Structure 1
Amino acid sequence: MKEKKVVSDYVIIISMVVIMVVVFVTTLYPFLNSLAISFNHADDTILGGISIYPRVPTIANYKQIFTNPTIWKAYGITFARTILGAAGGLVVTGAMAFGLSRKNLVFRKFYTFFCLIPMYFGGGLIPTYFLIQTLGLRNNFLVYIIPNLVNIWNMILMRSYFQSVPDALEESSRIDGANYITIFFKIYWPVSTPIIATIALYFGVYHWNDWFMPNIYITNQDLKPMTSVLLSIISEAAFAERMAAAGAASFAGEASKGKQTNVRSITMATMITSIVPIVAIYPFLQRYFLKGIMVGSIKG
């Protein structure tokens, strides 16, 4: 028999709906506002007051972005870094996790403890900078890849997932003469799709969004990723705002008037184009993400 709801049940349901709507609107509004500004005409943007839709729609902002060769170079560096970094990180971190998941590994506990030390203690920025310089990785594309091939937290998640795979798979493979490399790539890799998709997403998001390393180790503009270009555009916007606050508002307004784009609209358009590719990947990996992160984090 269906249980009849009382007044308190309706109060709880209505409260939950209201809270979820508020959270949804609060989360979505900044994105919609940025999207509206990116599609708005420059003369109207400087007036302010744009909410979630463009008052004077235009695609001039995006035309200026995609006709700029610097943007395309930055996109190329970002895509190359994300793909190579995620693939390399998966293979190296996965191989490390697979080794530490083997119960017959000599000094297994010592190696695991040794790997945990960098999670709590770092060498510092200056020693790391000198190390990168000594290795010849300054102004080198490989500075994006090599230092990030191993992530200890991702390794722990993958190791925990590998430990949940039945030992019978490895034993049967060993009987057939397979070595550990074959077992890793042909046995454990195919059956570990959830955790591999999860870790690939972690590595990909990190490499796509990272701005710290290029600003520290890269001075060659041809090697700058999208995040650095976006940061420079935002700095230009901040400088324009400071000039306006210092009394040059009328001059800034006259300088921007009649132009199809301005720094603020270009900033928003650049930001939208930089986040859309990585956001578009989430729906395809979502079904693996929850399963992978749950299994990888629960079993120790």
Structure 2
Amino acid sequence: MTSTTAPKTVLAPRRRSRQREKGDVPFSILNALVFALLAFVCGYPFYYLIINSISANDVSALGDIRWLPQGIHLDNYRQVFELQGLPTAAAVSIGRTVIGTAATVLASAYLGFMFTQAKLWKRALWYRLVIITMYFNAGLIPVFIIMKTLGLTNSFWVYILPLVVQPFNIILVKTYVEAMPEELQEAAEMDGASIFQVFFRIALPNMTPILATIAIFSAVTQWNSFQDTLIYITDQSLYTLQFLLYMYINQADSLAQAAQQSGGNMGAIASAATQQTATSIRTTVAVVVVMPILFVYPLFQRYFVKGIMLGAVKG
């Protein structure tokens, strides 16, 4: 009796598991197709920029480059990298990105941690004063007057100081810290640790995922910003890479016209494949600006998803 019923109890779950596996195949195929489509939608714009930046400029200007490059050449990149002041502008952009990101991450970590401390005097008031700046600001002209009064115009620090305190980042850190076990801090305080020791030795080492998330946000913002240069800077030695390339894009039409009118002979116009056009300038500049920051994300990707999820939901 036992020998006849035992195989049934063993084989039944195996049979059901095989049926579930067969039923999962269509879902897996559909899931793979959907994600492949999303990957294509996200990746194609970058591919489109690259193939148009290395294709013959007269062909790309007509919009005929869709899938494969034509008349491949690198003259566009050579001319961009030969721009006057490019090394200095690149150094300024790298400096503001590194220093600004580090300052923003440290300030967000400290303020977010302090706003979780019940012993902080008038904690709710300070927190509300920080958060209210997300919804209200003085406007461009008053902010410019403040920057000028503080001596930050035509200063490298105008790129750093205004972006150090970011309310959204503080909210992420505060929510993340509140989800951490309170016993960690209580045990450290019982051992005689001060609030600064608790922050640097207990809280900060456990904030890696959320701080990596904030670092990505801050680095992208700092690297792509050019409007602060437009508003506050007139010293060319403080121009950022993005602002320099922004001016280059604005000159695209005039450069294209100058190329077509060089000497007024048809030979110069016929060689437009190696001359700058508005389209070639835009695509080349976009690739130059996007590619460096594009390589930053893979370094922090393993922390990004965990950080944004834990920092967004308490519990």
For the superposition of Structure 1 and Structure 2, which TM-score range results when normalised by the shorter chain? 0.7 to 0.9
CA distance in 1, matches of 2:167, 2:246: 29
Describe the shift of the 1:39–1:111 C-alpha distance in structure 2 as closer, same or farther (beyond 3 A): same
Describe the shift of the 1:216–1:257 C-alpha distance in structure 2 as closer, same or farther (beyond 3 A): farther
Q: Select 1:86's aligned residue among 91, 97, 101.
A: 101
Q: Does 1:116 align with 2:131?
A: yes
More displaced stretch, 106-115 vs 149-158:
106-115
More displaced stretch, 46-55 vs 128-137:
46-55
Gaps of 5+ in 2: 1-15
Deviation, 1:20, is 4.5
Which residue number corresponds to residue 134 of structure 1? 149
Describe the shift of the 1:297–1:91 C-alpha distance in structure 2 as closer, same or farther (beyond 3 A): same
Residues 48 and 67, structure 2, Cα contact 8 Å, conserved in 1 = yes
Which residue number corresponds to residue 158 of structure 2? 143
Deviation, 1:120, is 1.0
Q: How many residues are treated as equivalent by the alignment?
A: 294
Q: Select 2:228's aligned residue among 189, 213, 235.
A: 213
Q: Which amino acid aligns with 1:71?
A: L
Give RMSD over aligned pairs: 3.0
Which residue number corresponds to residue 258 of structure 1? 271
Which residue number corresponds to residue 182 of structure 1? 197
More displaced stretch, 79-88 vs 35-44:
35-44
CA distance in 2, matches of 1:94, 1:254: 62
Structure 1, residues 197-225: CA drift from partner, whole Å, max 9, x if none?
A: 01111111110111221111112222111
Q: Select 2:75's aligned residue among 39, 55, 60.
A: 60
CA distance in 1, matches of 2:195, 2:112: 13
Deviation, 1:230, is 2.2
CA distance in 1, matches of 2:34, 2:192: 58
CA distance in 1, matches of 2:268, 2:251: 15
Q: Does 1:227 align with 2:239?
A: no
Which residue number corresponds to residue 178 of structure 2? 163
Describe the shift of the 1:200–1:5 C-alpha distance in structure 2 as closer, same or farther (beyond 3 A): closer
- TM-score for both structures, normalised by structure 1: 0.86
Describe the shift of the 1:172–1:257 C-alpha distance in structure 2 as closer, same or farther (beyond 3 A): farther
- TM-score for both structures, normalised by structure 2: 0.82
Q: Which has the greater radius of gyration? A: 2
More displaced stretch, 149-158 vs 34-43:
34-43
Residues 249 and 281, structure 2, Cα contact 8 Å, conserved in 1 = no
Deviation, 1:19, is 5.2
Deviation, 1:53, is 2.8
Q: Which amino acid aligns with 1:181?
A: F
